[in-house]
Amino acid sequence: MTNTHCPYCSLQCGMTLTAAGGARAALEVQAWPEFPVNEGALCRKGWTAAGLRGHRERLTTPLVRDLATGELRATGWDEALDLVAGQLSAMRSEHGPDSVAVFGGGGLTNEKAYQLGKFARVALGTSQIDYNGRWCMSSAASAGNKAFGIDRGLPFPLADIEQTDVLVLVGSNLAETMPPAARHLDRLRERGGRVVVIDPRRTSTADRADQFLQPVPGTDLALALGLLHLLEASGAVDEEYVAARTVGFDDVRRSVAGWWPERVERVTGVAAGELRELADLLASSERVMVLTARGAEQHSQGTDTVLAWINVALALGMCGKEHAGYGCLTGQGNGQGGREHGQKADQLPGYRMIDDPEARAHVAAVWGVQPESLPGRGRSAYELLDALGTTGGPKALLVFGSNIVVSAPNATHVTQRLNDLDLLVVADMVLSETAAMADVVFPVTQWAEESGTMTNLEGRVILRERAAAPPAGVRSDLDVIAGLATRLDSPVGFSVEPEEIFAELGRASAGGKADYAGIDYARIRAEHGVFWPCPTAAHPGTPRMFADSFATSDGLARFHAVGHVGAAEQPCSDYPVHLTTGRVLSQYQSGAQTRRVRELPDNGPFVEMHPMLADRIGVIDGQSVRIATRRGQLLAPARVVPTIRPDTVFVPFHWVGANRLTNDALDPSSRMPEFKVCAAVLTAVPVSVTTSGVVPEVVGA
């Protein structure tokens, strides 16, 4: 019996795995009630997580593309590692170290993320490394750094939700994406607190709300400006707090002066009266908590949108106050830790910046190399993929823990870039859509077959324990990294032992913003996780931040005056509706894992639309509809519901297709693509494809 954590989202629910026996050494998932974050509750993805163990599509031998047939064929580990290392060495000699790129994932353990960053900078010497977490919460990270001087998704435990007075959820469908967390909303309301949900769709989270605002996609920023306008006009700003704990409010005060409610209504579609109602509620409440998620963040103005909501929380004097403040609900399992330890293009372990001389000297000393040998900052995730195979761009890509073909924006273009590579190497447990394109595939362990730490959405470092041996022929990502590093004549060695790597990570992070130096596996086990920063073994960890000061040079939070620009692509006569994308309860991210779990429904994508829009284009519920944007098109059944705005359609992104539609316009600060809104056109298709289980055709670009 092993206490561990779910393989999927950032809640990292605790669960117990026991051996269920059988030929495939199956595991059984049971509740772990003592783990405080989920208290034994799991969503259906968690309960069925062991379904991938022994799956018939599980890869158990390395694959190499046969030059004669063009097909992938089985090979041995040494042959595959030798082949990849040989080609990488040749490329580096001929074209320089930046001809090789690395792409990581927000689901990798801290140990893997750390080793991957070190491998790129030391063994490959490349600056070209980034990861799919750039597409998750990087706008909130960027805003948090600007406003508070640090990026920890939630600066307080999730359970603080229950003790606040008003919870404002901006662009979060928490009840579907992390159902065990929804009990905090219920308990808050039982206490008499209020829940406000802001979303273009009336989701099951919105069904639990006391007030629901339904803005046009891409206008959350304008909504925040209008809200602060009203709070300022009514005298609700906590002037004493603003003077004592912040700087920059005068500029913000001026910037919101022109955002009267009727102007906000014209931009956002939210009635002026509803905005006034919300402003009155916030003004009369002792404790207000604002949480953003991808709905507010995945925009070309994502950073500014989050800053606008942080401005609201700061103006009310909430940040640093107990059971109040601002936070971001991170999405991927290790979305938080994955961005702290070096797989991001501009960072070194401990959330150190790669162009900071002191940071380089510290990390280089831990790694046993010269600071000058470390490369500088590389390209962000989308820019990296967009450069593949181009003149001056990388010619080889190593992918760990990411299914780019499904999850990248403007995916047809990105897939073409992958085709342009001289060498694509993918480490995965199944032949994902990206692995199927690779020249070499390494079969790697899954969560229950390896140990490693994750950092959940609260900044709580938790330990996923190995519960079973991997199938014969399967190795860890850490083995792949070490095997390649040795063959590339790395100047330093790479351990394959997670606990040893974590100890090194602790030393590398010591003194940094995300300081893990005082955390070890034994302590995590004993304390049900430890909150960073935790600089020494005697330090209690930091569940709540900002009580006395912020992580800026002077300890003061920063207001930022931001302006509404709107989505990069607005509806027009050719593309008249807004398209937004997101998740459904039974699937996770690119679906590479959950689509293969038999117990989870997999009916393919759909196009959710309002009855008024369906009438206008002549579509009935279940009928096939073609949705097109300037980048691609998709054929899928219509799902006609009254809960979405009539000017907006929604497509889930767990299958190939949705991201062929999405826009690659980037936020200038976070480099986050605008996944959450673009302009689209719908056409009714006469033939119905709605019979249960029929997977709709992807039409392509």
Q: Which of 374, 345, 343, 344 lies closest to 358 in space, CA to CA?
A: 374
What is the closest distance, in whole angstroms, from the C-beta atom of residue 433 to ligand SF4 in the complex?
Answer: 21
* Cα distance between residue 31 and residue 595, in whole Å: 23
Binding site for ligand SF4 (CB under 6 A): 6, 8-9, 11-13, 38, 42-43, 45-46, 178-180
Burial of 104 (C-beta count, 10 Å sphere; 0-12/13-18/19+) = buried
What is the closest distance, in whole angstroms, from the C-beta atom of residue 6 to ligand SF4 in the complex?
Answer: 3
Which CB sits closer to ligand SF4, 410 or 587?
587
* Cα distance between residue 391 and residue 414, in whole Å: 16
What is the closest distance, in whole angstroms, from the C-beta atom of residue 180 to ligand SF4 in the complex?
Answer: 5
Which CB sits closer to ligand SF4, 367 or 588?
588
Over its C-alpha atoms, the chain yields an Rg (Å, rounded) of: 24
Which CB sits closer to ligand SF4, 48 or 89?
48
Q: Which of 657, 600, 590 lies closest to 428 in space, CA to CA?
A: 590
What is the closest distance, in whole angstroms, from the C-beta atom of residue 329 to ligand SF4 in the complex?
Answer: 11
What is the closest distance, in whole angstroms, from the C-beta atom of residue 652 to ligand SF4 in the complex?
Answer: 15
Which CB sits closer to ligand SF4, 12 or 145?
12
What is the closest distance, in whole angstroms, from the C-beta atom of residue 17 to ligand SF4 in the complex?
Answer: 13
What token pair was written down for 295? 């709905």
What is the closest distance, in whole angstroms, from the C-beta atom of residue 9 to ligand SF4 in the complex?
Answer: 3
Residue closest to ligand SF4 when measured from CB atoms: 46
Which CB sits closer to ligand SF4, 584 or 635?
584
Which CB sits closer to ligand SF4, 238 or 602?
602
617, 682 contact by CB (below 8 A): yes
Which CB sits closer to ligand SF4, 180 or 483?
180
**For strand 648-652 and strand 577-582, is the pairing parallel, antiparallel, or unpaired?**
parallel
What is the closest distance, in whole angstroms, from the C-beta atom of residue 333 to ligand SF4 in the complex?
Answer: 7
* Cα distance between residue 597 and residue 593, in whole Å: 7
* Cα distance between residue 30 and residue 372, in whole Å: 50
What token pair was written down for 633? 């098109």
How many CA atoms are closer than 13 Å to the CA of 387, on its beta-carbon side? Answer: 23
Q: φ, ψ for residue 483 (rounded to 5)?
A: -65, -40
Which CB sits closer to ligand SF4, 87 or 330?
330
Sheet containing 440-443, strands listed edge to edge, beginning at the edge strand earlier in sequence:
72-74, 63-65, 440-443, 423-428, 396-400, 100-104, 129-131
Taken as a whole, the chain contains a residue count of 701
Residue 641 DSSP one-character state: -
What is the closest distance, in whole angstroms, from the C-beta atom of residue 44 to ligand SF4 in the complex?
Answer: 8
Which CB sits closer to ligand SF4, 46 or 571?
46
Identify the three-state secondary structure at position 466: coil
What is the closest distance, in whole angstroms, from the C-beta atom of residue 46 to ligand SF4 in the complex?
Answer: 2
Q: What angle do CA 477, 437, 411 make, to 5 degrees?
A: 100
DSSP string, 549-595: --SSTTS-EE---------SS---SSS-EEEEEE--TT--TT-TTGG
Which CB sits closer to ligand SF4, 45 or 417?
45
